[in-house]
């Protein structure tokens, strides 16, 4: 059953990442962006202190949704078709601020790096002790992934925002899955799918030398 409009559903996020990968190991952009929309919905529930994060995530998802609905939409069905199309047509701007719109490749790369943070964070939540602090799990996951790509001011703002996160068990409860134990079980189910999407994307971007796009 679909979640009420606006409400977060981990089950739907899980289903989105689960349906992302085709039998030919392609990553479909439709469900990929659906998964992100679901995660952003959860971020909104964490309060205004995270609005600088959600604004950036929404902007990036929006760029991709525009490509997926645009004139070249058939080229934006999967990550693989997008990479092939943008590279073949010189659309992957090596220099940012070249006056060209952000390419799909550089935009997905930002989301892909955030997916690395998400994996670490969810794994930390899943395996953490009952009394572990979400803020510590989140900070450690961030420092081991996304922080490398962010300037000092963003790192500082992120670290301050993380301090407002509720304790682990409360956090698991607000995920709206049931008891903390049920939430942990669902994280265990969701993580392999997220890892799979991450792994395929990483390999694709590495193969085409797209992992450092400015
Ligand atoms: C299953 C439920 C539990 C977990 C729910 C987590 C929900 C997370 C939702 C979204 C994650 C945030 C995605 C952030 C994308 C950031 C992309 C990025 O790196 N952008 C920077 C570079 O962009 P360009 O300038 O090159 O275009 C940009 O500078 C960043 C700006 C905003 C700050 C990003 C801070 C990221 C912190 C990530 C942790 C979110 C905290 C969630 C707390 C649970």
User: Other C-beta atoms within 10 Å of 67: how many?
Assistant: 24
Residue of 110, 157, 177, 213 to mutate, ligand 1, most atoms within 8 A of C-beta: 110
What is the C-alpha separation between 210 and 214, in angstroms, rounded?
10
pLDDT score recorded for residue 130: 87
Distance in Å, CA 114 to ligand 1 centroid: 6
Please give the mean pLDDT across all residues of the chain. Answer: 93
One DSSP character per residue, 110-133 reads: HHHHHHHHHHHHHHHHHHS-TT--
Least confident of 10-14, 44-48, 51-55, 143-147: 10-14
* pLDDT of 2: 47
* Residues whose CB is less than 8 angstroms from the CB of residue 151 and which lie 6 or more positions away in sequence, other chains included: none
Domain spans in the chain, listed from the N-terminal domain onward: 10-207
Whether 26 and 78 have beta carbons less than 8 Å apart is answered as yes
Least confident span in 26-40, 104-118, 167-181, 187-201: 167-181
ipTM of the complex as predicted = 0.97
Neighbours of 149 (CB within 10 A): 13
Residue with tokens 């996160």: 165
| Tens digit of each residue's pLDDT (9 = 90 or more) over 101-142 | 899 999 999 999 999 999 999 999 999 998 899 999 999 999
From 56, 101, 122, 157, the mutation candidate for ligand 1 (largest count of ligand atoms within 8 A of CB) is 56
Instruction: Please state which CATH number belongs to domain 10-207.
Output: 1.10.3520.10
Separation CA 126–CA 121 (nearest Å): 9
Q: Which of 70, 110, 101 is nearest to 201 (CA)?
A: 110
Q: What is the pLDDT of residue 1?
A: 40
- Quick one: what percent of the chain has pLDDT higher than 70? 94
pLDDT above 60: residue 29: yes
Full-model pTM: 0.95
């Amino acid at each position: 059953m679909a979640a009420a409009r606006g409400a977060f559903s981990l089950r739907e996020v899980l289903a989105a990442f689960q349906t992302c990968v085709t039998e030919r190991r392609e990553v479909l952009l439709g469900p990929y962006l659906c998964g992100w929309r679901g995660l952003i919905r959860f971020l909104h529930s964490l309060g205004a202190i995270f609005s600088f994060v959600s604004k950036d995530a929404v902007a990036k998802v929006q760029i991709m949704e525009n490509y997926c609905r645009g004139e070249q939409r058939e080229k934006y069905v999967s990550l693989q078709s997008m990479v092939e199309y943008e590279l073949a047509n010189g659309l992957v701007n090596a220099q940012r601020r070249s006056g060209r719109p952000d390419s799909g490749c550089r935009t997905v790369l930002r989301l892909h790096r955030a997916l690395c943070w998400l994996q670490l964070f969810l794994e930390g939540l899943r395996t953490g002790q009952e009394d572990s602090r979400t803020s510590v799990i989140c900070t450690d996951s961030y420092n081991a992934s996304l922080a490398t790509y962010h300037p000092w001011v963003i790192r500082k703002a992120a670290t301050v925002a993380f301090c407002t996160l509720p304790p682990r068990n409360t956090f698991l409860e607000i995920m709206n899955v049931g008891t903390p134990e049920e939430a942990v079980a669902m994280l265990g189910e969701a993580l392999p799918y997220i890892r799979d999407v991450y792994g395929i994307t990483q390999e694709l971007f590495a193969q085409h030398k797209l992992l450092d796009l400015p």
